[in-house]
Chain A
Amino acid sequence: DAGITQSPRHKVTETGTPVTLRCHQTENHRYMYWYRQDPGHGLRLIHYSYGVKDTDKGEVSDGYSVSRSKTEDFLLTLESATSSQTSVYFCAISRTSGGAGTDTQYFGPGTRLTVL
């Protein structure tokens, strides 16, 4: 497995509380992504980053924000968690993305988040 870790691996929280999930990589890859996985929906892109301080929205970005202050870390924040955000969250990394340079995405181990 690529050098990707996610923390925490499991979290239970209450509706309305803020939650931050961390993705850490040791591969020095430029691109990082956050996906959520729900039964019947596959994986859906939340946000992605194409460099330090450079981020953009994905398909399901409402209710989420991200930050990337260092190449190795990509944070996903739920400002006020809702029950609809109960999901498994996967981080992924790649050296390049999009266009002619599209490259392999490697996934982290995932974080299971439950919002009560």
Chain B
Amino acid sequence: GENVEQHPSTLSVQEGDSAVIKCTYSDSASNYFPWYKQELGKRPQLIIDIRSNVGEKKDQRIAVTLNKTAKHFSLHITETQPEDSAVYFCAASGGGGADGLTFGKGTHLIIQP
């Protein structure tokens, strides 16, 4: 089945700087790659997603890039703000196995004032 690796597990950046979180996946048939943000005690919330026919997608300060050949995708957050502090999860879906998302283990993003 699909395996998703996510790095780093913890990322601390100064407010205003950029943050980058990277994920790799194993199943070349995967075609959908969402990113979720989860605040403490809350449900995961979708922040951006990308499909395999697109190489990059942006939404204001957030962008995701996908390299299908290398089987990796990344989340980029620019001009970080205190409210960006949370745990971020990447995921992959649509491969040849069972339906549902396979998640990375998460990145705890800390924005230092």
Contact = CB atoms under 8 A, between A and B. Distances in A.
A86 interface: no
A102 B94 contact: yes
Interface stretch (B12-20, B41-49, B54-62, B75-83): B41-49
A45 B99 CA distance: 9
A33 B103 CA distance: 14
Given A31-B99, A59-B102, A98 B46 contact: no
B101 interface: yes
A97 B97 CA distance: 12
Interface residues of A, number: 29
Nearest to A61: B98
Interface residues of B, number: 26
B89 A42 contact: yes
B85 interface: no
Pick from B46, B49, B103 the residue with the most CB of A within 10 Å. B103
Contacts of B104: 42
Given A102-B31, A102-B93, A45 B43 contact: no
B4 to A, nearest CB: 8
6 contacts: A1-B43, A40-B105, A45-B98, A58-B100, A59-B1, A98-B93
